[in-house]
Structure 1
Amino acid sequence: MSTTASLDTPRLSLEAGAEGASHLTLRNDSDVVEEYALRVVGPAEPWAEILPDRVSLYPGQDTTATVTFKPSRSASIPAGDFIFGIHVLPTEHPEDAVLPEGVVEVLPFLETTGELMPRMSRGKRGAKHHVALDNWGNVPVTVDLAGSDPGDLLEFELEPPELTIEPGTVQFTAVRVRPAEKIWSGTPATRMFAVTATPEDGPPVLLDGSHVQDPVLPWRTIKAVLFLLFLATALTVAWHLSVESVRLSEPTKPVAPQGAALNVLPYGIQ
């Protein structure tokens, strides 16, 4: 074998978004000057770089090249082991190409965000919201959801109450908000609440919202009913007064006094 190559650190563990390096030692054991083309191959190739990527060596000479790995902090690079190889191709003796291998372990990270839609709702008997949860991390995450409010004035129904979100995806859940007690009349009341999404590992995500509870009989309805009652009463009074006025305006017929004799003349006598 005219070419030998080895890695000083065949296994690396890196945080996502961090940078690490391994050094390749290359030796020319042939009897001619050899030029080598160096290239990283395998799943880690998109975020790996080797410098220099071409070297020339005299017989019996050796040199080093640096392989740098830069996995981005994103869901596109999942946590786990990535096998890589350094393809070393001699120009003069391509049949003596070598491929030293190594492993880069990308460590897991969590990054979960959420949004409550809409932030504010309104209704007499409650309303429906939706929660969108994004997993920006590089591992699946399971999240428990729960609703709460100061004073326990609202009731919450979540469907589903638990979500498993794959890296780089979004999942939704419906949140039904219901007032614990009705407001029969008066002015609307604003109820503040929060939906908490708690991952198995990592900090919880707190989503604030509000619900405006309308009374069952709003003031405008009460005013309309009172106005109609007043109008009905006024019309009834006006009708009675009209009837009484007509009765009083009719002429009266004379009535003979009780016990008075009628003066009836015989027939034919004027």
Structure 2
Amino acid sequence: MIHKSFLQNVNLLIQMHAEGLLGGEVMPEDALIGIVPEDELPNVLTLGMSLNYQRNSYTLWQSIAQAYLDDNSRWIFNPHAVSNKDLEDLRHVLLHYRVALQPNRHPEIWKRVSRGIVQSSPKGDVLGLIESVQFDIFPLKNIIQKTRKSEFPYLSGPKIFNYWLYVLETYAAIEWKSRELITVAPDTHILKASVKLGLCSSEVLNGTNEDRQTVAKAWEKALTGSGLAPIDVHTPLWLWSRAGFPSLSVSKTL
């Protein structure tokens, strides 16, 4: 059973984030603001997110912004262009800007995801894919995580998939139906913060896929009826952990 004090702490964390008390005013994806036009953000965010696994997110998105600024390399963010280009050309650009760190696996993933987008979207781009499911998360989840899972490595995993939905909403102004289906993206910081708040036992810190699913489901259950979607707490939790868990003070507004 979730105690009232738990939800008070969650709301306090959200309030502290809104007031800039958790630091991290600049998020990794902010590197794209003012550089990538909004109508191109779905493709850029999706392809970039497909390599956002076990690496420094700030460095990744800065590299992506630099690659986009180069007229000669901007084609790497066009799924059609990537699908039709030679893998060696793609490898050269991705490695040059350090968007890819692994010379074989990363370019191959980028190309595979691009083909997956083209083949699953009537328009051959990410927005077309989203429009084809009428902005509904449930059928989109079925495509990415089930029927076409092999075409979306990393992106189909629960951590990156849910965070991908969140960044599309935050940066590309995508308005999802049933946004309550976006769970927290259970990376290491989210696991630690969930334990710190007393939502989960320290056993989830092992970080297995089962542990991450346990944490995601715990947040879904804890926030049912609260008016909050699980993804609403993701960034406050992430920053709270990253800042070393500064003390939560009692707020008179709660």
TM-score by length of 2: 0.17
Higher RCO (CA 8 Å, separation ≥ 6 residues): 2
TM-score by length of 1: 0.16
More helix by proportion, 1 or 2?
2
